[in-house]
Amino acid sequence: MRFRSLFPALTLAGTACSMTPALTLPPPPVAAVYPAAAAGTVFAVPDWRAMFGDPRLQRLITLALAENRDLRIAARNAEAARAQIRVQRAQSLPSVGGESGYTRQRQPSNVAGAGVGLTPITGGARGIEFGQFTVQAALTAFEIDLFGRLRAMNEAALQRWLGSEEGRLAVRLTVIGVVADTYFAERLAEGQLRLTTATLENWRAALDIARRLKAAGQASGVDLAQAEGQVRQVQADLAQRQRELALATNALTLAVGAAFPADLPSPIGLMDQPIPTALAAGTPSDLLTRRPDILQAEHELRAANADIGAARAAFFPRLSLTAAFGVASAGLSGLFNGANQTWSFSPSLSAPIFRGGELRGNLDLARLRTSVAVATYEKTIQTAFREVLDGLAARATYATQSAEQREVARHAERREALALLAYRAGMTGRLELLDAQRSGYGARQAALAVRREELASATALYRALGGGVSRLAPSP
């Protein structure tokens, strides 16, 4: 018998019926449009390089995409899922192995019998000793997938790999967002440190004026004490700002995953960051094809549905095939003569009779996991919808708030300068100057903080919209 005679049996695996139920994705449990979205906006999320225009930030993001450990873990998980596809698919293909061997044995005459065609080598009438050379190729326990069990398992493995690829993209988007967010936090800390340093210099100058006026008898000890206390407070603020900058730099280093190179471009100040904040949102249906976490949840749902098919098929009989073809001879020289051919063909059919409820339990478990996957898919969509709504609300308000806060800071600086001139001329008291200085200091700090929040909200909206992720059709 030749192996080509087995081909009709092997092709049965490709014509198996399927026990996997048809999957219809649940409708998105959110509104069809965003309440705060402008009508007619075109959905186009820029690439991260177009989104974050600071050359220093771009270098840090590039470094993070190569060095961040979370991204490495996600990439390795995707590779492991891809390898699992190959392992699973191998179960659907024939496993053919070749072997050769030599056997020498002795049997008593009363066991071997007389006249069986064996020529005694030694031993005479009391026994027969002989050797045998064999070469064969064997097909071992190949399952013919009549009811689609292996095909369902292959589909589940494929969907989990696709889900892991989307998970890798989700982690990549998260890394970009975290690096940008921590970078802006560092820029805020650096800006506040600069502001505090400049304020300390100005207030030390004001303290020197208060001392001279006190020496000339034109100011009281109360004025001098107020000026000294004000300088001490800013010195305490300076130590806090230095600590905050060090902590922000540490957080940014962790987000990047590597030490900063020495040739990084100079940073752009927080107030001048070239970040587009008016991103177009499109419609919620756009999220279903762009958000990696939603697509990952969809693939997990499809994998769980395929598990139901595999669990159903386990109730039905399994047809397995074992076959071998080779040659055997007592002598090596004539091993490959046509008369020395050997073959065996062993189909087997096994059917479950009693498994103690294991099969029913596996099917119930697969159905429950599919229900959980449906709920997870819907929850992921709802979370994405809420994140976009939050981003749209921020987009609609932060621009105005930031512009107004800058005007507040500008007027406060002007008032502080006029109050200092009036104090030097003796037209006003120390208390009015103190109030103007504190107001100006607080207004400038608030302007920095609002700008930081505006940039953080733009980054969050960028992530919520899918982050301009580009996809290539993967092949397992």
Q: What contacts 174, CB < 8 A, 6 or more positions away?
A: 70, 463
User: pLDDT per residue over 26-44, tens digit each?
Assistant: 898 888 877 755 444 545 6
Q: Per-residue confidence at 15, pLDDT binned at 50, 70, 90? A: low
- Highest mean pLDDT: which of 135-149, 215-229, 326-340, 368-382? 368-382
Three-state DSSP at 259 gives coil
Q: Which two tokens stand for residue 23?
A: 């999957």
Span 385-409, average pLDDT = 90
In the CATH hierarchy, which fold is given to the domain comprising 3-92+145-316+354-464? Outer membrane efflux proteins (OEP) (1.20.1600)
For every residue of 429-471, DSSP letters joined together read -HHHHHHHHHHHHHHHHHHHHHHHHHHHHHHHHHHHTTTT---
To 10 degrees, what angle do helices 292-313 and 358-424 make? 170
Q: Which two tokens stand for residue 179?
A: 């690096």
Of all residues in the chain, what percent carry a pLDDT higher than 70?
Answer: 86
Rounded Cα gap, residues 393 and 162, in angstroms: 33
Q: Which two tokens stand for residue 418?
A: 């006029």
Is 340 a residue whose pLDDT tops 80?
A: no
User: pLDDT per residue over 418-474, tens digit each?
Assistant: 988 887 777 777 778 888 888 999 999 999 999 999 999 999 999 998 887 666 555
Q: Which two tokens stand for residue 36?
A: 């705060």
Class (C level, CATH) for 97-144+318-350: mainly beta
Is 379 a residue whose pLDDT tops 90?
A: yes
Neighbours of 218 (CB within 10 A): 11
User: pLDDT per residue over 69-122, tens digit each?
Assistant: 888 898 888 889 889 888 888 887 888 888 888 787 777 766 555 444 545 555
Span 397-422, average pLDDT = 91
Span 218-247, average pLDDT = 88
For every residue of 110-168, DSSP letters joined together read HHH-SSSSPPP-SSGGGEEEEEEEEEEEEEEEEEE-TTSHHHHHHHHHHHHHHHHHHHH
Rounded Cα gap, residues 87 and 81, in angstroms: 10
- What strands lie across the sheet with 341-350, from one edge to the other? 96-108, 127-144, 318-329, 341-350
Of residues 385 and 333, more confidently modeled: 385
Q: Are 275 and 52 in contact (CB under 8 A)?
A: yes
Three-state DSSP at 147 gives coil
Q: Which two tokens stand for residue 70?
A: 């979370």
pLDDT at site 3: 45
pLDDT at site 40: 43
pLDDT at site 350: 84
Q: Which of 1-5, 256-260, 464-468 has the lowest mean pLDDT?
A: 1-5
Is 224 a residue whose pLDDT tops 90?
A: no
Of all residues in the chain, what percent carry a pLDDT higher than 90?
Answer: 40
pLDDT at site 18: 77
Rounded Cα gap, residues 385 and 461, in angstroms: 11
Q: Which two tokens stand for residue 324?
A: 């071998």
User: pLDDT per residue over 344-373, tens digit each?
Assistant: 888 888 888 888 888 899 999 999 999 999
Q: Which two tokens stand for residue 216?
A: 């000339």
pLDDT at site 352: 86
CA distances from 308 to 148, 186, 361 (A): 11, 50, 11
pLDDT at site 195: 93
Is 131 a residue whose pLDDT tops 80?
A: no
Q: Are 133 and 54 in contact (CB under 8 A)?
A: no
* Unique residue bearing structure tokens 């603020």: 237
- List 328's β-bridge partners, or say none: 134
User: First-to-last CA distance in the chain?
Assistant: 36
* Unique residue bearing structure tokens 């207030």: 203
Q: Which of 43-47, 117-121, 301-305 has the lowest mean pLDDT?
A: 117-121
Is 330 a residue whose pLDDT tops 50?
A: yes
Of 51, 143, 56, the C-alpha closest to 92 is: 143
Is 401 a residue whose pLDDT tops 60?
A: yes
Tell me what the pLDDT averaged over the chain comes to.
Answer: 84
Of residues 189 and 95, more confidently modeled: 189
CA distances from 237 to 95, 193, 208, 438, 442 (A): 73, 9, 20, 13, 12
Neighbours of 78 (CB within 10 A): 21
- Can you give the pTM of this predicted structure? 0.81
Span 201-211, average pLDDT = 84
Domain range annotation of the chain: 3-92+145-316+354-464, 97-144+318-350
pLDDT at site 7: 47
Q: ∠43-78-309 over CA atoms, to 5°?
A: 90
Is 287 a residue whose pLDDT tops 90?
A: no
Of 76, 80, 94, the C-alpha closest to 324 is: 94
pLDDT at site 1: 43
pLDDT at site 100: 80
pLDDT at site 112: 57
User: What is the helix (H) or strand (E) element at residue 248, kind and residue range?
Assistant: helix 221-256
Three-state DSSP at 347 gives strand
Is 253 a residue whose pLDDT tops 70?
A: yes
Rounded Cα gap, residues 325 and 336, in angstroms: 12
User: pLDDT per residue over 160-173, tens digit each?
Assistant: 999 999 999 999 99
